[in-house]
Homo-oligomer: A and B are copies of this chain.
Amino acid sequence: MKMVKKASVEPSQTRPMRADGQRKMAALLEAAIQVFARSGVDAPVREIAEAAGVGLGTVYRHFPQRSDLIVAVFQGQVKACADAAAVIARKYEPAEALSRWMQRYVDFLGTKQGLAAALHSGDPAYSALPEYFDQHLRPALNGLLDEAVRAEAIRSGIEAKELLGAVGTLCCQGPHMDIGSARRMVSLLVDGMRYGAIKQEEPA
């Protein structure tokens, strides 16, 4: 059992991807990044295939579901967003940290045309997305939430999953996608949590 070098994505216990396969996959990822940025995450698959100089079948071979492609493209940024929580928590007091991280998440979603919408579409083609996001972001948010509650800066009893979902929906105001509006509404949401805090602070 020789361990040949593995491609970034490989089924365990099996041979590594063929060289040309890896090449196409990389081209696909590259193209998807471009196309998603230009036309949003709901760009036609054909468009991505063409941009990558690849057949449709090849797209589906590497990314059986549309959402697999999206996850592949954004996983780095999702992780970065999750990691930002700890950094922010170190710099600010709990409630402020929570607020800032929420805005950080808004900034991420808000600049990916169609991502937020896809996240909540319920379209089976995107089914893997909510799971992926929740799995990675919930722990991060939960940490911030716990600290803020412990500091009595916000009310308790808020579900991270619910909050995450709310931010996601607030970021999908159609195509006009006014990120400023999303930011204001999320800010209102955070203030709502402060309103029920044990220690009632003076609002700015």
Contact = CB atoms under 8 A, between A and B. Distances in A.
Contact of A192 (B121, B176, B181, B188): B188
Contacts of A165: 173, 181
A191 interface: yes
Interface stretch (A31-39, A61-69, A77-85, A195-203): A195-203
Nearest to A123: B174
Range of interface residues on chain A? 20 to 34
A98 interface: no
Interface string A44-73: 000000000000000000000000000000
Contacts of A172: 120, 169
Contacts of A174: 120-122, 130
A88 to B, nearest CB: 20
A113 B172 CA distance: 18
Contacts of A93: none
A166 B185 CA distance: 7
The 10 tightest CB contacts between A and B, nearest first, are: A122-B174, A188-B192, A192-B192, A191-B192, A122-B175, A191-B195, A195-B195, A169-B169, A166-B185, A196-B203
Interface of A: 117, 120-122, 130, 155, 158, 162-163, 165-166, 169-170, 172-176, 181, 184-185, 187-196, 200, 203
